[in-house]
Amino acid sequence: MEHGYMNFKQFRLFEMRLSKHEEEVPQLMSRTRSMADFVMRIAKTVISFLLQALEAAYEATRFLPCLMVLCFSARSLMGPPEFEVDCTCSPEQIRESLKEIQFTAMRDSEDDGCSICLSEFLDGESLYVIPKCNHLFHKACLNQWLLRNKTTCPICRSSLKIMPQFEEDFHLPPEILVQDFNAR
């Protein structure tokens, strides 16, 4: 092969190789078509699935307003949760129902700080105890809480509705308890 030319022998060899590849072309085309068909089937399946999911989401959201109305109407039938109690009591009336104690520190006590101001109680400090849940607070902190028209415990949200002030009251007959309570 001088000066870029092929001799006859080289040309025949090239022609044989080319004819061998020409025989493989239909096989390659067939494989390519089957691969393209496979990819198209997968694409159709994925698109079909996405369209069905979109349609299901659309159908579900069509009924969402109806479900919301049902949920809210059911909630209104149950009444307000305990932390939304509508208390017409004044802060002074609630304050009168709270028990006042002097704090004494205990070694293993976890309840040794005010959850409103986050500072620790000091020995001999005057605190309020919420009768229903026995949570402790600084008097000034709970007074500020009540002045903001909060009518629930700052920790557990139990109602601060007026309760008898002394534990002895619970041992009295009901009619005396009611009379004593109304006299306040």
pLDDT tens per residue across all 184 residues of the chain:
455 677 877 877 777 777 776 777 777 788 888 888 999 999 999 999 999 999 988 887 777 777 677 766 655 555 555 544 445 667 777 777 788 888 877 655 666 788 888 888 888 888 888 888 888 888 888 888 888 877 788 888 887 766 444 444 444 444 444 444 444 4
The owner of tokens 């061998």 is 20
Q: Which of 77, 101, 117 is the last residue of a domain?
A: 77
Residues 6+ apart with CB under 8 A from 60: none
Q: Which of 42, 77, 112 is the last residue of a domain?
A: 77
Enclosing domain of residue 20: 8-77
CA nearest 151: which of 75, 78, 93? 93
DSSP state of 77: H
In a domain, residue 2? The reply is no
In a domain, residue 58? The reply is yes
In a domain, residue 1? The reply is no
β-sheet bridge partners, residue 159: 152
| CA 54 to mean position of chain CA atoms | 26
Q: What is the pLDDT of residue 46?
A: 95
**178 and 89 within one domain:** yes
Full strand arrangement of the beta sheet holding 126-129: 99-102, 126-129, 136-138
Q: What is the pLDDT of residue 43?
A: 94
Task: Give the other-Cβ count within 10 Å of 153's Cβ.
Answer: 20
DSSP state of 85: -
In a domain, residue 52? The reply is yes
Task: Give the other-Cβ count within 10 Å of 133's Cβ.
Answer: 14
**Side chain identity at residue 74, one-letter code:** A
